[in-house]
Amino acid sequence: MDNKRQGKKFSDLQAKRDHYRQISTQSQANVNAKHIDVEKFVETRAYEITAMQQALESSKKMNNARAFQTLPRHLRRRAASHNVKRVPFRLRAKTILEQQKSAMNKSPAASKKAEEKEQPIKNRRHRRKGSVLVKEYTRRQQGKRWLETHIWHTKRMRMKEKWGIMIAETPNDKSHRAIYKALHKAIIHDTSYTKTVEIKGPYLDIVKLFSGICISERDLTSKMYTNGTHIIPLILCKKDIRKVIGPANGIWQNFLENDNSKSDDMVVDSQSSSFYLRFHPGMNEQVMFRLGDQLRVMALQDVVSVCDKSLEIMSVDIYGAKATELLQSVLEFSPNKNQNDSGSKKTSISEKIWNCLRNVSDSKSVPEGLVLQLESIDPRLKFPQKMKSKKSNVPKTPDAIKNHEDMVNKEYGDTIEHLNNYFGMAPQDIQTNGVWSTGYCKQLLDSKKSEGELNSRRQNLLIPGTKLEYTKEDISIPIILVRRGPPHIIGSSHEQLPFSRDCISGWTFICPSGFVLDFWKSFVFAGGRAIGLREHAMLCFESLIPYFPECWALTESYNEYFFGSKDGKTLGQLQTEYDRWKKKPASKKENYMKKGVTSPFYPLLYKLVGLEEPQEHLKYSFMNTDQKESQLDKSFNESEPKIIAKSDPTIDPWMIVSSFELECIRKMLKPLENQTQYSDFSFTKWIEPLMQKCDQTKNSLNESMSIYSLPSQESYRKSLVRVSLLSISRGTPTSNAAIALPEIAKDVNNDFDGESSDENSGLVSGDKNPESKKRLFPNQGSTIGYVMGGDFSYSSSKGAAIGICSLEGLYKIWMMHGVNSKDVLDLVKKTRKPKVYNFIKSRKTIDDSIFVEVCNVDGKTRRLYSLYV
């Protein structure tokens, strides 16, 4: 019955449509003529033509089907696409008209949203076009900055946004051990994220400006620095040396005119100079604010200008034993540059020095801080480069060996002579290459040859694979090579420990923007292995050098890294670790309160100097409420008196970073000849040499460093010192582990490894209480410091760490070693395993060393470590 009704409705609708489609006609007359008149014929058929047009119009009005609904059956879909190109060509005009009418009927908000949303490009061939890629990459860079090697790194490394820049964090494969093994070759790291600031103005005004914002053991007015041949390591501070910002490096660049009527000093003092400051991007806001504030205080705003050149200067760090060989294989100088009238080439002294360094086997043989300004040809002309092997050049016959030795000795002599002449040159005699000039570098970038032009030149070569020759139309790229060392990482001189390895020395390659990707590809093909931020931190750890900002405690950059930004946009490392622990079920996560660990996620630096922790930090610890405090074992917390510094509570804890203070502390920690003298030493008397050294330094500096102020005894009670730790037997320290005084008074033969070999196993002080077996973590009274970063060290094949101790804690450990020296030696002998030759071999080292105990936050082990300042 329903089928009959539906058939009737369809027949009625079909009849209705046929009615409107009918075309009225007039009676047709007999036409017998063979020829017709067109005008008359049209006039006679005008009625039918008009009727046909009316039928078409009425048929369109009655047709309720859209263009997509009129498709053939094999093209119809229930969820049809609205793409016009999916419709046959004959229906596209109607489809476009229908879409326009539907858009007009929509609300203004919906139509605006549809306009803002761009249709995705589904054709890959179209997506890979150059113009489309540039538009897409520009859209993806909104709110962040890409380095020029970003696309190369994204295919091989994990990227992470830090400090507003997308930086390669770590390679996709396991790389720590492989990177350490690759140090015998060459390692490269793109450091273009480093901030570069130009301070331009009169020479004396720039020196006056930096005397109030930095600590430097080098004299900024020295000739070897003002002529731009050396880079200057600095430590930037606020208005006081107790408030450190972080490490930085400076390079002088003078724009002077030759005037024979004036002496060198008069020329330097009267002419304008430029000082380029390079520092970590995490310090950008603090440094720029500090420079502006100091300019306002000294009234130098109209004389000295500050300009950010971070987007114009790119850099690459090169590490490893073959860092110099890698640069030698890629860099090549233009043969037609600096020619005399006779046609011979005039070689600059920087180029002479670089040519003499071809026989240098290691970059550590080159003086630290050396700055060379060179001009290299486009590396794409000789791409791909290969590192030259020196084994093939080794002579075999005795005469050849002798001639080779004579030649090498002559080149070494020439190198020393060139270096001495280079360091002693006047600033106006140093030849600059224009790498700091924005206009010159932009002109070079505009005249740079495209890849298509170079490929067309390669096609015209007679022998395929031949390197392209340099022509006058090719450009020479200005570059700067800086011999980098540990002082340029920490901002001051560094004493290399005997068991550590210098893994960060090498070269810093600086070039203008737009060219670093070309050099980067050449470095990779020549044998350089790329690393990320995590591997760079690992190399600093292997050298036992504090890595910024993770190991620079109490700085604003460290607080932002650890506790997050103040605006809450970025989460800190502390909140990330705390949330990861909190999300675990109670049966799966560590019970720190049971083991007496009150702060397993961050070091209690304020507690070290007898101050209360800030309230914003307490929420990540287990001592923020009285209830949690009561759950801890009181006997464990009160077994020894706490170290409370009775001093001014308004003084905040601060870090000692100046090299002369650290050197004085090393001398203070040496044992006395007579053991009875220790009873006469109080903390005030112990730091008297340090106070005298600071007073002498301040008098010698005079006005050259107005930022330096003499710390008081009260401030030294709140001071912290960065230390290095090395395991005596075994074990690996972890972050936030406690550094404590060794427990030797009660039970020297106690096993401090926490093993269950005897009944006293795991006890800290010989206590028979079974509850204390579970708690190896030291109390606040015996804690003198915390571990900032620890891991297994490939350099020493043991566990190592970088920690922070209070100066008063170092005094206590010095006193304990002096009074109980015999017990300490017995403890070390017990811990170092029963190997007599190891003990005898290291006996001299043991007598001069300081030993502490380190307990990880898991509270399972408490082992002995040697401590070095």
Q: Are residues 286 and 355 in the same domain?
A: no
Q: 381: Cβ–Cβ under 8 A, 6 or more apart, which residues?
A: 454, 467, 468, 469, 470, 474
Structure-token pair, residue 510: 């600086």
Q: Are residues 212 and 332 in the same domain?
A: no
Q: Are residues 677 and 788 in the same domain?
A: yes
Q: Are residues 209 and 330 in the same domain?
A: no
Q: Are residues 305 and 319 in the same domain?
A: no
With contact defined as beta carbons under 8 Å apart, do 819 and 791 qualify? no
Q: Phi first, then psi: what are they for 278, rounded to 5°?
A: -120, 130
In this prediction, residue 729 has a pLDDT band, given cuts at 50, 70 and 90, of: confident
Q: What is the CA radius of gyration of the chain?
A: 38
Structure-token pair, residue 775: 């708690």
Mean pLDDT of 374-384: 91
pLDDT tens, residue by residue, 182-228: 999 999 999 999 999 999 999 889 988 988 888 888 888 888 888 88
Pick 27 or 289 by higher pLDDT.
289
The predicted structure's pLDDT at residue 247: 94
Structure-token pair, residue 674: 């007579």
Residue 798 has, within 13 A of its CA and on its CB side, a CA count of 19
Check which CATH number belongs to the domain holding 781 and give it. 2.40.30.110
Dist CA 830 CA 749 (whole Å):
7
Which amino acid would we find at residue 204?
A: L
With contact defined as beta carbons under 8 Å apart, do 167 and 193 qualify? yes
Of 170-179, 447-456, 639-648, minimum mean pLDDT range: 639-648
With contact defined as beta carbons under 8 Å apart, do 541 and 793 qualify? yes
Q: Are residues 57 and 202 in the same domain?
A: no
Structure-token pair, residue 598: 């009150």
Find, among 383, 407, 385, the residue nearest to 395 by Cα: 407
Q: Which of 486, 517, 543 is the last residue of a domain?
A: 543
Q: 802: Cβ–Cβ under 8 A, 6 or more apart, which residues?
A: 541, 544, 546, 551, 722, 723, 724, 725, 787, 788, 789, 790
Structure-token pair, residue 298: 């000294």
Residue 140 in any domain: the answer is no
Dist CA 407 CA 227 (whole Å):
31
Q: Which of 81, 100, 119 is the last residue of a domain?
A: 100
Residue 173 in any domain: the answer is no
Residue 763 in any domain: the answer is no
Q: Are residues 786 and 662 in the same domain?
A: yes
Residue 11 in any domain: the answer is no
Mean pLDDT of 686-692: 84
Q: Phi first, then psi: what are they for 801, rounded to 5°?
A: -160, 160
Range of the domain at 292: 195-256+270-309
pLDDT tens, residue by residue, 582-639: 999 988 888 888 888 888 998 999 988 888 888 888 888 887 544 444 444 443 344 3
The predicted structure's pLDDT at residue 669: 86
Q: Are residues 323 and 276 in the same domain?
A: no
Residue 721 in any domain: the answer is yes
In this prediction, residue 759 has a pLDDT band, given cuts at 50, 70 and 90, of: very low
Handedness of CA 59, 60, 66, 69 (dihedral sign): positive
Dist CA 93 CA 82 (whole Å):
14
Q: Which of 492, 510, 543 is the last residue of a domain?
A: 543
pLDDT tens, residue by residue, 110-147: 656 666 666 666 677 777 777 788 888 888 888 899 99
Pick 775 or 132 by higher pLDDT.
132
Q: What's the pTM?
A: 0.77
Is pLDDT above 70 for 435?
yes
Dist CA 484 CA 504 (whole Å):
8
Dist CA 573 CA 590 (whole Å):
19
Handedness of CA 683, 215, 548, 616 (dihedral sign): positive
Mean pLDDT, the chain, whole residue set: 79
In this prediction, residue 343 has a pLDDT band, given cuts at 50, 70 and 90, of: very low
With contact defined as beta carbons under 8 Å apart, do 291 and 198 qualify? no
Q: Are residues 365 and 493 in the same domain?
A: yes
Residue 88 in any domain: the answer is yes
Q: How many domains does the chain have?
A: 4
Residue 71 in any domain: the answer is yes
With contact defined as beta carbons under 8 Å apart, do 657 and 545 qualify? no
pLDDT tens, residue by residue, 252-268: 986 544 444 334 443 44
Q: Are residues 56 and 199 in the same domain?
A: no
Determine the Cα angle at 286 with ends 716 and 165, to 5°: 125
Residue 441 in any domain: the answer is no
Of 113-127, 367-381, 520-534, minimum mean pLDDT range: 113-127
Q: Are residues 724 and 841 in the same domain?
A: yes
375 forms beta bridges with 478
Pick 462 or 454 by higher pLDDT.
454
With contact defined as beta carbons under 8 Å apart, do 613 and 604 qualify? yes
Q: Are residues 371 and 300 in the same domain?
A: no
Check which CATH number belongs to the domain holding 247 and give it. 3.30.70.1400
Dist CA 665 CA 660 (whole Å):
9
Place of tokens 């004299």: 219
Dist CA 282 CA 293 (whole Å):
19
pLDDT tens, residue by residue, 48-80: 888 888 887 776 666 667 777 777 777 777 666
Place of tokens 């047009």: 53
